[in-house]
Structure 1
Amino acid sequence: MMMALGMFVFSLPTLAYEELQRRTSWRHVQNPRFGARAANQFLGPGDDLVSLSGRIPPELSDVSSLATLRDLADAGDALPLVDGRGQVYGDFVIESLEERQAAFLDDGSPMRIDFGLELRRVPDGADGRVQGAEQVAQG
């Protein structure tokens, strides 16, 4: 196992990523002051973004893994992200999934599929949705 997002496991048989990029930011605000440098105030943590990218060899991996990730994204739930060493990154939602197919066979089957997955951290225990959004959507 390379990493798990909820119950989805990134591995060679499912979906192996080649690159992981993480960008973490912190929020600061500046308040101008007369005759002095602006005062800086720390507001807390900002965005925590994780990008995974890789290539799926259809003959070695389960191509339906991308559909599984789309289903997870459609649910809108926050999922814990844990790497193979046991490091817990926190709860993340899927913001986007990119798929690029190339080198097609006569029947239209791709010989190569590249993917990119964008994850955003949400407060631990949050489900990634606005409270009451289901009632508004139904109502």
Structure 2
Amino acid sequence: MDINLIKTGFLAKLGDFVFEPKGIAFQKFDRESSYNWAEIKMIGSHPLRQFLGVNGERISISGIFYPHYRGKLSHMSDLRAMGAAGIPYRLIAADTDSAQNLGRWIFKSVKDGRTIFTSDGRPLKVDFTIELESYVQDL
């Protein structure tokens, strides 16, 4: 389902958190869907398969930002706080003309790596990965 809203230069919104080119942007957005099949063993034949339904989906969002240029280290704290809240968040992807509602998602993990430090210890480069799993498919 598309959501009619005016796109204002964002890549995606997760709850109230906005991924945007002028703030914290991502370079990779992976979505995985899997399906559940039971195997029924048959004597003298190949096993039969029975479809049991759709498993949950996973999304991995990863990227790099440079806090001295765009984005803030506090973005990582914000994402960790969202994950620690233990609630699902609506994910809106701006990859269509009007943005796409991808449903509600829960945090599985937030990871960041900091490199290239200034003399006072501030990182100039931050790599991050956020792992999400579908909560309820309410599209």
Query: Normalised by the shorter chain, which TM-score bucket?
Result: 0.7 to 0.9
TM normalised by structure 2 equals: 0.84
| Greater fraction of residues in strand | 1
1:52-99 alpha-carbon deviations (Å, 9 max, x no partner): 111111122122111111110000101111101321212110111111
1:1-139 to 2 correspondence within 5 Å? 1-59=10-68, 60-84=70-94, 85=96, 86-124=99-137
CA distance in 2, matches of 1:63, 1:11: 15
How far did residue 49 of structure 1 move? 0.7
Structure 1: stretches of 5+ with no match in the other structure: 126-139
Cα distance in 1 for residues equivalent to 2:11 and 2:61: 11
- SS of residue in 1 equivalent to 2:23: coil
Counting aligned pairs with the same residue, the percent is 27
Q: Give me the TM-score of the superposition, normalised by structure 1.
A: 0.84
Task: Tell me the distance in 2 between the aligned counterparts of 1:53 and 1:115.
Answer: 5
> Looking at both structures, which has the greater relative contact order when contacts are Cα pairs under 8 Å and sequence separation is at least 6?
2
Judge conservation of contact 1:56–1:63 (CA < 8 Å) in 2: no
Q: What value does the CA root-mean-square deviation take over the aligned residues? A: 1.3
Secondary structure, aligned partner of 2:73 = coil
Tell me the number of residue pairs that the alignment of Structure 1 and Structure 2 aligns: 125
Task: Give distance in 1, aligned partners of 2:76 and 2:23.
Answer: 9
